[in-house]
Amino acid sequence: MTIHHAALARMLPAEKKEKLLRQLAQSGVSPSRIPIIKADPAQAIPLSFNQERLWFLQKYDSTATNYNLYVVYRLHGVVDMPMLTEALRHVQARHAILRTRIIVRNDRPCQVIDDASSLVLDTVTLAAQAPTSALDAVIQQVINTRFDLARGPLWGVTQIIQPDQGCHLVFCAHHIIIDGISLRLLFDELQQQYARLHAGNETSLPPPPLQYADYAFWQREWFQDTLLANELAYWRARLQDAPLLSTFPSLHPRPAQPSTHGSRFSITLDETLSLALKHVARTQETTPFVLMLTAFQLVLMRYAQQQRLVIGMPVSGRIRPELQSSIGYYASTAVIYTDFNGVEVGREALQRVKASVKETQGRQQLPFENLVNMLDSLAAFPIRRCSRSSISTITT
């Protein structure tokens, strides 16, 4: 389907549009192959599936800040802060999602894009001899900002200045408008725009081919059960006997409501072991990630006493090439289901995990929420529980 055909399809009456969806499904057309066209400005902008799930969760607990994403950069050298603020406003003007609020209209949440840039660069100045704990306290305060989805703005930037110690820049945004890749894109664009302004070029970077609103409109238009029937049937059969609730032993009983108060345990692999892992991955024609995932799953299999494992894996969700430079909440969770029955530990296990990862990466077009809704409708899948993540309780 071409862009022209997609534009014509948007104008079809409901009954003809449904007929077209059935014809496309019968022809095996994936919705991810349908080009994205600009959103209709005359219609309310819907939330994407990702956004709607997060909107519901935030509504359930309006004081929660665990849906904030943040990144902290330490700036070196002399930085022109007024110019940096101007560069940020250029970036905000370029990406409509950075001017977006979420409101309820006719009992449905929708996106509203503000015209003017509302960004203000907040500044906090610490004493030159202030301890590291003072810097950490300010950062914690910033990243725990409570964003009002209806009022906006849904992101902010704070500079923390400490004489003779340089400057820290803290980006914090609600996950409903951004993901990890988008944070990196935002900072890369900020650097480019700052360099342009510093060189006397006051023009903005060329606009991205699409805005997040175009993606949300396209997703709601085409990612319907009719066109996703083949994908839904595949995963229904694939996960029919999968253990969606892990029996991995824990030291403490699982709380009825998750507290989100977790901790992180990190290990650093020495250079010799790192090089050895890369060598093994290369000889097996796979990646270090798949190799480490195999080792992780084998440990889970041993302690959980399960031969079949379901693990969640974060994926970019940018299933169309024109979305690569777009800022928004595209990231999703994919399911890796591996059956180790009859598999010996070693090369055979690695090949089994490699196949599972390849399968998952090739089936990103099914939105995670559609998968959860489908499985939740089946009595055999007790997956929606307040105390657990949907489908998999373990994520890489």
pLDDT tens by residue, 72-96: 999 888 889 899 999 999 999 999 9
Amino acid 311: pLDDT = 87
pTM over 0.85: yes
Question: Distance from CA of residue 52 to its chain's centroid?
Answer: 13
User: Given pLDDT bands bounded at 50, 70 and 90, which one contains residue 248?
Assistant: low
The answer to the question of residue 231 being in a domain is yes
Residue 18 and residue 135 share a domain: no
Amino acid 396: pLDDT = 64
- Which residues span the domain enclosing 19? 3-33
Parallel, antiparallel or unpaired: strands 121-125 and 166-174: unpaired
Per-residue model confidence as pLDDT tens digits over 181-203: 999 999 999 999 999 999 999 88
The answer to the question of residue 395 being in a domain is no
Which of 7, 361, 34 has the alpha carbon at shortest distance from 228?
34
User: Given pLDDT bands bounded at 50, 70 and 90, which one contains residue 369?
Assistant: confident
Section 61-76 average pLDDT: 88
Query: By CB neighbour count within 10 A (0-12 exposed, 13-18 middle, 19+ buried), where does 273 fall?
Result: exposed
The answer to the question of residue 381 being in a domain is no
User: Tokens standing for 171?
Assistant: 């980006």
What is the rounded distance in angstroms from the CA atom of residue 58 to the CA atom of residue 60? Answer: 5
| Lowest-pLDDT choice from 11-15, 36-40, 138-142, 377-381 | 377-381
Whether the predicted pLDDT of 4 surpasses 80: no
Amino acid 327: pLDDT = 97
The answer to the question of residue 49 being in a domain is yes
The answer to the question of residue 383 being in a domain is no
Q: How many Cβ atoms from other residues are within 10 Å of residue 256's Cβ?
A: 8
Residue 149 and residue 121 share a domain: yes
Whether the predicted pLDDT of 162 surpasses 90: no
Amino acid 292: pLDDT = 94
Whether the predicted pLDDT of 109 surpasses 80: yes
Section 20-35 average pLDDT: 83
Q: Mean pLDDT over all residues of the chain?
A: 86
Amino acid 2: pLDDT = 76
Amino acid 243: pLDDT = 73
What is the rounded distance in angstroms from the CA atom of residue 353 to the CA atom of residue 286? Answer: 10
The answer to the question of residue 389 being in a domain is no
Residue 339 and residue 250 share a domain: yes
Question: Distance from CA of residue 201 to its chain's centroid?
Answer: 33
Amino acid 260: pLDDT = 64
Q: Which of 184, 216, 248 is the last residue of a domain?
A: 216
Q: How many residues does the chain have?
A: 396
Residue 334 and residue 232 share a domain: yes
75 in Cβ contact with 169 (< 8 Å): yes
Residue 364 and residue 251 share a domain: yes
Domain count for the chain: 3
Between residues 341 and 197, the one the model is more confident about: 197
Per-residue model confidence as pLDDT tens digits over 254-279: 766 666 666 778 889 899 999 999 99
Whether the predicted pLDDT of 317 surpasses 60: yes
Amino acid 267: pLDDT = 86
The answer to the question of residue 357 being in a domain is yes
Give the CATH number, domain containing residue 370: 3.30.559.30
Residue 22 and residue 124 share a domain: no
Residue 274 and residue 252 share a domain: yes
Residue 230 and residue 204 share a domain: no
Residue 205 and residue 62 share a domain: yes
Residue 254 and residue 174 share a domain: no
Between residues 8 and 358, the one the model is more confident about: 358
Residue 369 and residue 346 share a domain: yes
Parallel, antiparallel or unpaired: strands 121-125 and 108-113: unpaired
The answer to the question of residue 290 being in a domain is yes
What is the rounded distance in angstroms from the CA atom of residue 252 to the CA atom of residue 164? Answer: 47
Give the CATH number, domain containing residue 204: 3.30.559.10
Q: Which of 216, 238, 260 is the last residue of a domain?
A: 216
Q: Which of 185, 216, 247 is the last residue of a domain?
A: 216
Amino acid 247: pLDDT = 61
Residue type, 112: V
Residue 279 and residue 190 share a domain: no
